[in-house]
Every structure is written in C-alpha cells, then in structure tokens.
Amino acid sequence: MITLSEFVYAKQHEFSSATGELSALLSSIATAARFINREITKAGLSDILGFNESSNVQGEAQTKLDVLANERVKKALLSRGEVAGIASEEDDDVVIFEGGRAETSKYVVLIDPLDGSSNIDVNVSVGTIFSIYRRVTPIGQPISKIDFLQPGNKQVAAGYVLYGSSTILVYTTGQGVHAFTYEPALGMFCLSNESMKFPTKGSTYSINEGNYLKFPSGVKQYMKYCQEIDTATSRPYNSRYIGSLVADFHRNLLKGGIFMYPNTASYPQGKLRLLYECNPIAFIAEQAGAKATDGFQSVLTIVPTSLHERSPFFVGNDHMVETLMDFLSLPTT
C-alpha cells in the first residue's frame, strides 16, 4: 500500500519550486483528520453531540464537534510551522501564526472544519474541506486578509475528508484528483483511487427539494427537466440528497451527477461559503473533468470581497451543468 506521505513526496517532481512544505502541510491536515475521525467514531459515548453554547460569525449555532474540529485543525497546522495563517468558517477573522517557520511560510489555509455538522447527531456522513493558497504578501512581512481573498483559480491545493462508512481524504494540487482511505490498523491514509474522473454521463441530481418554492425559476424548470421521462437522455434522473456537501459531491464524483445549492428567498446571495466550500470543491471538480458555476460564471474566477462571502453553487458533470445554465438563462416566468 502507498501512504499519503509517500504519494505526495513522489509527486513533488511535478512542481519545479517544491521544497517539501506543501507535503508537510498535507500531512498536518491528515493528522487533524485522524483526530476528528476518532472523535466522530466515539459520538454518543463521549460528550461531543449536540450544540455548543456559541454561534459562529454568521450567527449559526455551533455544534460541540464544530468547535473541537476547528481547534484541532488549527493546532495541527500550527505545530508543523508550515502555514503563515488560517481562515476558518468558524472564526470571525483570520488567525495569524507567529514565531518560528510560520512567519516565513509560503502558504495560507482556509478550512471548513466540519461540513454538515448538523448531521452528526443522527450518524450521517460529515466532512472537512480545505483550501491552500500561496501568500501574496512578501515573506518576512505579516500576512493579512488579502492573502486569503484570492480567486479560486489561485489555489495551490484543495481537498476534503469524508467521514463515512470509511474515512477518505481526497485532494488535488492541480495535477489530478487522488483519494486515500484511512486504515485504522496502520493509522495511515493509503492510496485507494488515483487520477479520479467524473463518469462521462451523470444521472443523479442533488438538491434540497423542500426549498422548491424558494428557488429561482430556472432551477425549478431544470428540476422538472430532470424528472421528465426521455429515454434518449436517460431521464428521469435519480434524486439523491444527503445534506452534507462533501458526501453529496463525493457520491457524484464516483457515480456522476450534479449538486445544486441555489440562492433562495431566505439566502438571496446563496448560503454556501465561497472560500471554505465552493472554491475547494470547484477546484477538485474541474480537475476531475467536471464544471462548477454560481449560475453565471465559473466559481473559480470570482474575486472574493469578504472572508465569509456566500455564493450560489452548482457543480457536476459538464452536460448537466451546461443544461442547467441554459435554463438559468431563460427569461423569468
């Protein structure tokens, strides 16, 4: 078996400027994932279920595991000194690491420590999403928000960890998408899928249909299209929605399909976070031969203006996203 560390080290030759820092950074994320995985498997036996007596910057109630996962990821990244700072969905502002190698590190990390955390109490799959950028402030100077407010096409690496029937870490550095399954007996992530690609055709759509009345007209029309019988295009499509972005996306990556989280009357700008969820998933999707859009443009071209900016998000097989875009461009009815 090839471990994550061995694989990343072997791939360093693909980067002319590689110095081993990125490899160490990914190892730190894997360390945090092992800890989070251990805590999740003990849910119900230890006091990590339910909500914490706090809320994040968006005013959303935090679960106990949200807080635990956030602190563990920061601790793992700080301990290796390969990161200049971190921005988290759970924190109000960026966290700047000081002292040691951190001050001269080339990288910053943005993270959603526990995607789908509202599902943890009912034993449904959750995940961790991460995004890595090269800092834009000069080495030796303090980093600032501008290091984090970069468009998604500037990502150096991105990935996610899915805590499900098995724990899987998926990542890309712009040279393909690779998956590693956690082997508890070894305490290591081992290569299970190399150079992953979306299937040529997709037949699944993932959306919270309970919000149908709040969706834009184009999304409603596309959903009706998905439900119509048409043997020439293998319709109707299957409807599958878990409620954890990582879990829904991972299924579509393996089986083919489209994930949709449009803007609604309640969230006119969209609900998913551009920096912590949309950008990293979009980067992975495009590396796997799929497309990601906010309904008007490629997600990866959006220049963010704030750390917790939200965006509509549609990601999946090319032909499904392109058809959706046709419906979104129709006049409102």
Binding site residue list for Mg(2+): 89, 112, 114-115, 277
Give the residue numbers of the binding site.
89, 112, 114-118, 208, 241, 271, 277
Give the residue numbers of the binding site for substrate.
115-118, 208, 241, 271
Backbone angles phi, psi at 189, to 5 degrees: -90, 130
Q: Cα dist. 28→4, 21, 63, 78, 233 in Å?
A: 11, 11, 23, 9, 44
What are the tokens at 72?
Answer: 């563990």
Q: Are 152 and 286 in contact (CB under 8 A)?
A: no
161: burial class by Cβ within 10 Å (0-12, 13-18, 19+)? buried
Contacts of 106 (CB under 8 A, 6+ apart): 21, 84, 134, 135, 139
CA gap 83, 98 in Å, rounded:
10
Give first-to-last CA distance, the chain, whole Å: 56
